């Protein structure tokens, strides 16, 4: 289908292309996973996680702008680079009107990406409603509970037995359709042991993830992306 100019292999965490760089190439994920993200200050905002067969880099090519996002490998990853001469030939064969339409769509996507990222920056960890089964250990033994909402950095746990503020513990989290349980080291940021409105303000605790493997973090991010799609 495409003429491939080269194939590149990246190790976990290596940058494939950087936001703001020239958008001369379009990539296809051959194996592994690619994370698309934006950097604002010291914060990295993950916008999408791509799987084999998916394409990235096309917006900068059609819009003729610098790259709007950065891409990095998650785990060992291989990508194919579509031959630039092939792209130029196919693009040039289109009518001037259709080229204008494609460029207009690409520029609109650039604006949409910027607008999507900006609201995210208003909170350090935007929360997404998501109910997941989980368990943790208290002084009375193991407690089974459910998440109320979550983010890439923490979550609210609905439970009648919240742990003390500042307490460190290990959370066992079960993702839908995934047989492997996530084990995340956490810290209680705050708790709610009494409430006048159990529906709107249920008993429970807000927790912050303090230690999570990169692989498990990507699994969690994918689940968050599903919840917002």
**Contact criterion met (CB below 8 Å) for 82 and 24:** no
Place of tokens 């609905």: 158
Contacting residues for 223 by C-beta, under 8 A, at least 6 apart = 130, 132, 175, 176
d(CA 66, CA 76): 26
pLDDT at residue 123, rounded to an integer = 44
**What is the full per-residue pLDDT of the chain (229 aa) written as tens digits?**
677 878 999 999 899 999 888 877 889 999 999 998 887 666 677 888 889 999 998 888 788 788 888 999 988 999 999 887 777 787 788 888 887 887 787 777 777 666 655 544 344 455 667 788 898 988 778 888 888 888 878 889 999 889 999 999 999 988 887 778 888 999 999 999 998 888 888 999 999 988 888 788 888 877 776 666 5
Element at 111 (helix H, strand E) = helix 96-121
Domains delineated in the chain: 4-121 (2.60.120.10), 128-228 (2.40.10.220)
Cβ atoms < 10 Å from Cβ of 201: 11
Contacting residues for 164 by C-beta, under 8 A, at least 6 apart = 188, 191
d(CA 101, CA 94): 11
DSSP state of 52: T
């Amino acid at each position: 289908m495409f003429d491939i100019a080269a194939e590149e292999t990246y190790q976990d965490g290596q940058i494939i292309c950087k936001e703001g760089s020239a958008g001369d190439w379009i990539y296809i994920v051959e194996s592994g996973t690619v994370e698309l993200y934006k950097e604002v200050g010291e914060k990295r905002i993950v916008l999408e996680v791509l799987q084999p067969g998916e394409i990235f880099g096309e917006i900068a090519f059609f819009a003729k702008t610098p790259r709007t996002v950065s891409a990095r490998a998650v785990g060992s990853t291989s990508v194919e680079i579509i031959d630039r001469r092939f792209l130029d030939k196919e693009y040039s064969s289109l009518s001037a009107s259709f080229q204008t339409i494609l460029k207009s769509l690409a520029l609109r996507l650039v604006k949409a990406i910027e607008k999507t990222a900006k609201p995210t920056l208003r909170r350090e960890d935007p929360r997404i409603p998501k109910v997941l089964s989980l368990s943790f250990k208290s002084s009375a033994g193991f407690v089974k509970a459910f998440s109320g909402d979550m983010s890439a950095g923490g979550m609210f746990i609905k439970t009648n037995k919240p742990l003390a503020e500042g307490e460190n513990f290990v959370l066992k989290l079960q993702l839908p359709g995934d047989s492997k349980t996530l084990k995340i080291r956490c810290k209680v940021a705050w708790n709610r042991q009494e409430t006048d409105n159990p529906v709107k303000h249920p008993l429970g605790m807000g927790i912050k993830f303090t230690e999570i493997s990169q692989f498990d973090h990507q699994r969690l991010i994918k689940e968050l992306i599903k919840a917002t799609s």
